[in-house]
Structure 1
Amino acid sequence: MAGERPLVVAADETVLDEILRVAAVAGCELERAPDLTAAREHWARAPLVVLDEETAQLPPALPRRGGVLLVCKGSPGPKTWEHAFRRSVERVISLPDEETELAGAFADVVETPAEEAGLVLGVVGGRGGAGASVFAATLALAADHDPGGALLVDCDPLGGGLDLLLGLEKTPGPRWSEVRLSGRVSVPALAAALPQRGHRGGSLPVLACGREGEGPAVESLSAVLAAGRRSGRTVVCDLPRTLGDATAEAVTVADLVVLVVPIEFRACMAAKQVLRPLSKLTARLGVVACGRSRGGVSPAQMAGLLGPPLLASMLPQRGLGAAVERGEFPTKPTGPLASAAVDVLAVARREARAASR
């Protein structure tokens, strides 16, 4: 039934409007029929059939089939259950309380879960100005070359906006202040609406905080992370050093949280402070050392002082600061940044596969 759309047969205009709204949020296009006679053409082939109570109480005019939902306003009464039984309805969904379940049914039609679940990665700076946002963007660009693709999520409302870092500040599309999600989310629909940073081989969707408004709500961020994992995408979260409820949720579910730390004593001390709350939420932590060694301290020695394993180390990348200021974020697959990102991705994939066994 590839290419077929769910079929909606609803006589109640209020219920129909609600069904259409939920389907739009899930990114699911529908076939509509005013009655069962008009529905005959699509009845057998539709991957899902949604009826309202007015339609369900009519005499059966079409053969029984699976995958039929009955949507009602408020709690279902005895008559509703009677009609549902007569129609061999798979599930009765009450609106508005069970809107998430209806959205999930539509999302299941739009998205087939990936054979291999996607990764959720967090990136946080050991101190201010460590380059965590730059590394998060580079990590997402590297992951976007994979078949599942990637999604870059800005979780720091005080960071100035990842859209600005990537030169997307004038690109239309929703920022977190305009995004309110919960339950089941369609990643293809979300990604298509977001600003995207083009690169060799594709384009990376970016969900930024922007310059106004708050960062992500817990429910919205949780829905995006779950959807990305389900769809096989790598979701990279640029995290603030001070964790709120939403970012604590991201840390808790992440496959790996990367701490970016310059190789210097003061940065190491600051990173210890950042690590303290992180380590209470997850043990899946690693360090990326950046810059040149000072005072003879190696990246491995610095990671040893902090505790989490050293994932990668990277020397300063020539011209990076000036390029970022010009809005020319580097997307080339070579250089210290890109090499460190590849190393971190390799570790994250290896650890995720080991954990799934």
Structure 2
Amino acid sequence: MTEERPLVIAADETVLDEILRVAAVAGCELVRAPDLTAASRHWARAPLVVLDEEAVRHPPALPRRGGILLVCKGSPGPATWEHAFRGGVERVISLPDDETALAGAFADIVETPAKQPGLVLGVVGGRGGAGASVFAATLALTADRDPGGALLVDCDPLSGGLDVLLGLEKTAGKRWPDVQLGGRASVTSLAESLPQRSHRRGSLPVLASGPEGQGPDVESLSAILTSGRRAGRTVVCDLPRSLGEASEEVLLRADLVLLMVPLEIRACLAAKKVLSRLSRLTARIGLVACGHSKDPAARTAALLGPPLMASMPPERNLWGALERAEFPTKPRGPLATTAADILKIARREAQAATR
């Protein structure tokens, strides 16, 4: 965030309360002034100026500048537009209809867009117990070592909880029931409020499902995906096989959806059913085969359709480590190696798509 904070001049308490609420959701701190005269020392330096109708009716002799927003209750009338024109207002925002635009303006101050947009990755199991949650967590931990960082999001309300998987169940921080976002949000502010899994190069924020099975609401999840991509983060979503509205939001936005397929005949048949549902929403699907490539089921997996992104051999002592609440962090193990390879492919394809 810039050193200077947005300047707010609002005499209408109702409008002021709404401005403060939207700014708080965006994680944006403000400078408040009772009128334009008192605001003169902040006027030129503030990255954004937000006025209400009372303030814009009596403009003092301040230099003209850009980045002025006028916030009003309901639809603006002719007099409002006239005052806005004379006061050099850049945009008129009507509440509550244009709340997203106001949130976006504050979010732009908190987080300037990254030079390289982030990725949205989905991971779903071809059958129960396919290791999708473990791989999603590994993928996020690997991505979090990069400058943009990562965010791990639990999209399965009936899972055991990604916080439990990573040993964070007793760590303070928000879970899905505590997160209510709309429009634009600050992924940095959100990340700071979440439990975080420490690793060699930092700590990974984890947004887990609630203990009573509360999962993501679509509006909040959409805001997180948008903000994460804009900020250059890799957002990894652990998806349920029974796709709901929130999961569909991820599928529509994801740069890549990984289907984890254990190399067993029944697992391949189950994965085919999951794939049929995924394919209705996205074509950006890749398979990760889990097991020994010489298994007879490997040939069946290859016939499922989507490209085989990786063939991942079993991680030694994995399930024992998970039972001991020791999430695997072997830097050269099959999980970490496969995750790193897939991230390289996903980033290369995303960059090629923006050229």
TM range (shorter): over 0.9
1:310 to 284, 308, 311: 308
State whether residues 118 and 232 of structure 1, in contact with CA within 8 Å, keep that contact through their aligned partners in structure 2: yes
Structure 1 residue 12, shift from structure 2 partner: 1.8
- What do residues 275-331 of structure 1 show as CA deviations (whole Å, max 9, x unaligned)? 001111111111111123575444xx2432211111112222122112212222122
Counterpart in the other structure of 1:326: 324
Counterpart in the other structure of 2:238: 238
Distance 1:88 1:270 in 2: 61
Q: Which runs of 5+ in 2 are unaligned?
A: none
Any residues of structure 2 matched to 1:1-357 within 5 Å, and which? 2-293=2-293, 295-298=295-298, 301-357=299-355
Q: Which runs of 5+ in 1 are unaligned?
A: none
State whether residues 59 and 87 of structure 2, in contact with CA within 8 Å, keep that contact through their aligned partners in structure 1: no
Distance 2:284 2:27 in 1: 33
Structure 1 residue 33, shift from structure 2 partner: 1.0
- Residues 115 and 70 of structure 1: is their aligned pair in 2 closer, same or farther, counting only changes over 3 Å? same
* Matched residue count: 355
Distance 1:174 1:258 in 2: 27
Q: Which one-letter code corresponds to 1:225 in the other structure?
A: L
State whether residues 152 and 204 of structure 1, in contact with CA within 8 Å, keep that contact through their aligned partners in structure 2: yes
Structure 1 residue 17, shift from structure 2 partner: 1.6
Structure 1 residue 181, shift from structure 2 partner: 1.5
Distance 1:16 1:325 in 2: 51
Distance 1:285 1:148 in 2: 24
State whether residues 140 and 150 of structure 1, in contact with CA within 8 Å, keep that contact through their aligned partners in structure 2: yes
- Residues 295 and 17 of structure 1: is their aligned pair in 2 closer, same or farther, counting only changes over 3 Å? closer
State whether residues 163 and 169 of structure 2, in contact with CA within 8 Å, keep that contact through their aligned partners in structure 1: yes
State whether residues 263 and 301 of structure 2, in contact with CA within 8 Å, keep that contact through their aligned partners in structure 1: no
Distance 2:133 2:89 in 1: 49
Distance 2:101 2:213 in 1: 29
- What do residues 147-176 of structure 1 show as CA deviations (whole Å, max 9, x unaligned)? 101010111011111111111111111111
State whether residues 177 and 213 of structure 1, in contact with CA within 8 Å, keep that contact through their aligned partners in structure 2: no
Distance 1:21 1:202 in 2: 31
Q: Which one-letter code corresponds to 1:323 in the other structure?
A: A
Structure 1 residue 2, shift from structure 2 partner: 4.1
**TM-score, structure 2 length as denominator?**
0.96
- What do residues 103-137 of structure 1 show as CA deviations (whole Å, max 9, x unaligned)? 11111111111111111111000100010000000
Q: Which one-letter code corresponds to 1:348 in the other structure?
A: A
- Residues 2 and 226 of structure 1: is their aligned pair in 2 closer, same or farther, counting only changes over 3 Å? closer
Deviates more, 1:54-63 or 1:335-344: 54-63
Give the match's secondary structure for 2:18: helix
Distance 2:277 2:121 in 1: 17
Distance 2:169 2:42 in 1: 44
Q: Which one-letter code corresponds to 1:310 in the other structure?
A: L
Q: Which one-letter code corresponds to 1:133 in the other structure?
A: S
- Residues 220 and 261 of structure 1: is their aligned pair in 2 closer, same or farther, counting only changes over 3 Å? same
State whether residues 123 and 259 of structure 2, in contact with CA within 8 Å, keep that contact through their aligned partners in structure 1: yes
State whether residues 120 and 225 of structure 2, in contact with CA within 8 Å, keep that contact through their aligned partners in structure 1: yes
State whether residues 4 and 46 of structure 2, in contact with CA within 8 Å, keep that contact through their aligned partners in structure 1: yes
